Amino acid sequence: MIQLQPLDSAVPIQDQFAAEASPVVLVNVFRFDPEDEAAVVKAWEHDANWMKQQPGYISTQLHRAIGESAMFLNYAIWESVGHFRAAFSSPDFHAALGSYPDSTVASPHLFERIAVPNLCVA
């Protein structure tokens, strides 16, 4: 089963659930044993297809680390913290976490866009 480890130990994702922000970006870093890569992709694909059906879901993209690094980075865009919280807290979602290989460690964290003049729009 997957292990959840905070990306920011001072503010784990469960603490972020109290925030009101919209839209939000979930960044989730997955670490795993190299031989488990295909199983991680299969489990993630199942979860992503389930999340895609949830209210407030906008999009997602999975990235593989370059080189010999056994790591993925996923980002998903949600309409709000509340929408993501509802999906993440679902018993169906938590039951599916058991399909990840035991070597998998996920570090999810929520972000919101900020404006930087001439570079980024909020």
**pTM of this prediction?**
0.94
Give the SS3 label for residue 73. strand
Using the CB atoms, write b or e for 52-76: b if 16+ within 10 Å: eebebbeebebeeeeeeebbbebeb
Domains along the chain with CATH numbers: 3-111 (3.30.70.100)
Question: pLDDT digit string (tens) for 58-101?
Answer: 999 999 999 999 999 999 999 999 999 999 999 999 999 999 99
- Report how far residue 17's alpha carbon sits from residue 65's, in angstroms, rounded to the nearest whole number: 28
